[in-house]
Amino acid sequence: MNRIQLTTIGLVFFALTSAAHAQDVIEDDLKATVSTAATAENPDGWKLGLTLGATISFQHNSKVVGSVDGANFQLGLVMDGFANFRSGNHEWQNSLGIRETFTKTPNVDLFLKSTDSLALKTTYLFRIPDVDWLGPFVRVSLDTSIFEGYDARATDTTVLRTKTNGDAATEVIPAQEAIDLTGYFEPLTLKEVAGVFANPVQEKEIQVNIQLGVGGTQTFTQNGYVLADKADTPELELNQIEDFQQAGGELEIGIKGQVEEYMTWGTNASFFQPFYSSIDNGLSGLDLMTIKFNAGVSVRLAKWASLDYVLTAKREPLILDEWQVQNGLLLTAGFSIFSDEPTAP
């Protein structure tokens, strides 16, 4: 088991252990999703929050009809935090999100990551007096993966790597060995957007947040590879990705809410239409649009446990001109800490 896997296991067991001792400081878990957008009634000062959770599953098969002998093992870590500051009509929102899941199956000796994301976002908003649900905003965000990306197969695999200049080379990767794809924090995307926001509905049951603006993105790939396998060829095809920059317009819509005291839900969609791209992959018009969508439902089973369903889908045509979809149902154990009252600036 390598250093990355040991680190992940350590974080998981830390979260599970902390859950048993955190009930005295736990407040309502649902505050994380219904209090991040300030309204005119919010007093000045800081509001802080942190949610840390972990998932773990294990199953072992031995001579089970229709199943492969061996162990199925999965580890997951979820962390969400926010730090929001308000002073009069000025507001500064900051958020952090981390999702990690590693899986081991009987066919492959290595732990393979099935979810790996780090998202940071900071936003400044000015709420127009007497129309506090409307105003200008400036946002900077970072999206990346934390760990190295690799694949592994149960048999020897012929890999065909195609570089961005068209050069191609094959290599044979022995069974159970890692097929390198991407490095740490690869790809990494920075985005800067300025425009107008609207929060027309801000109720406990439902909140609607809309942002429309223009800006730019910078994606750094470190010359990693993405899977582009073709079913009708014997090789495993990998295509190299390259750095690029874009400028364009973006629309982001977020809707979330609370049902009773035990269920929260949320969905977010963003559409970035570039009018400039530093590289040309043959696409144009709406085919160049970057679309990201995520949705989730969380049902609180106890103060320290919840059942969560998460769906993410994205299309980034300059990285991979196909839809990338992930969804999962997780039983999460952990704890949440929030500031009940804003702290003084």
Mind listing the pLDDT tens digit for each residue in 174-190?
A: 999 999 999 999 999 99
Q: Which of these, 209, 182, 179, 177, lies nearest to 196 by C-alpha position? A: 209
Identify the pLDDT of residue 345.
Answer: 54
> What is the per-residue pLDDT for 139?
97
Give the three-class secondary structure for 23.
Answer: helix
Q: What is the pLDDT of residue 342?
A: 61
How far out from the chain centre does Cα 117 lie? 4
Tokens 């196909």 appear where? 322
Task: Look at residue 299 and tell me whether its pLDDT is greater than 90.
Answer: yes
Span 22-47, average pLDDT = 50
What pLDDT sits at residue 126?
Answer: 97
* Range with the poorest average pLDDT among 10-19, 129-138, 163-172, 285-294: 10-19
Q: Which two tokens stand for residue 110?
A: 């290595």
Compute the distance between CA of residue 130 and CA of residue 40 in angstroms, rounded to an integer.
9
**pTM of the entire structure?**
0.79
Q: What is the mean pLDDT of residues 155-164?
A: 93
Q: Which among 242, 253, 248 is positioned nearest to 289, based on CA atoms? A: 248
Q: How far, CA to CA in Å, does 258 sit from each of 205, 207, 269, 294, 296? A: 5, 9, 19, 17, 12
Question: What number of other Cβ atoms are within 10 A of residue 277's Cβ?
Answer: 18
Q: What is the pLDDT of residue 7?
A: 43
Where do the domains of the chain lie, and which CATH numbers do they carry?
3-338 (2.40.128)
CA-CA distances (angstroms) from residue 147 to 100, 111, 298, 300?
Answer: 9, 12, 26, 30
Residues 6+ apart with CB under 8 A from 300: 29, 30, 261, 262, 263, 306
Question: Could you give the CA distance from residue 338 to residue 333 in angstroms, rounded to a whole number?
Answer: 17
Query: Distance from CA of residue 114 to its chain's centroid?
Result: 12
Question: Does the pLDDT of residue 3 top 70, yes or no?
Answer: no
Q: In 3-state terms, what secondary structure has residue 167?
A: coil
Please count the other Cβ atoms lying within 10 Å of the Cβ belonging to residue 19.
21
Does pLDDT of 1 surpass 50? Answer: no
Task: Give the pair of three-digit tokens for residue 249.
Answer: 């317009």
Task: Give percent of the chain with pLDDT exceeding 70.
Answer: 86
Please state, in angstroms and rounded to a whole number, the distance separating the CA atoms of residues 34 and 218: 31
Of 292, 270, 286, 133, give the one whose Cα is nearest residue 215. 270
Looking at per-residue confidence, does 334 or 163 come out higher? 163
> Which residues, 6 or more positions from 9, have their beta carbon under 8 angstroms from its beta carbon?
1, 75
The confidence score (pLDDT) of residue 220 equals 94
Q: Measured between alpha carbons, how far apart are the two ends of the chain, in Å?
A: 46
Closest Cα to residue 321, out of 270, 282, 273?
A: 282
Please determine, for residue 252, whether its predicted confidence score (pLDDT) is greater than 80: yes
Compare 310 and 91 and report the one with higher pLDDT.
91
Q: What average pLDDT score do residues 82-110 get?
A: 92
The DSSP result for 238-269, as a single string, is EEE---EEEEEEEEEEEEEEEETTTEEEEEEE
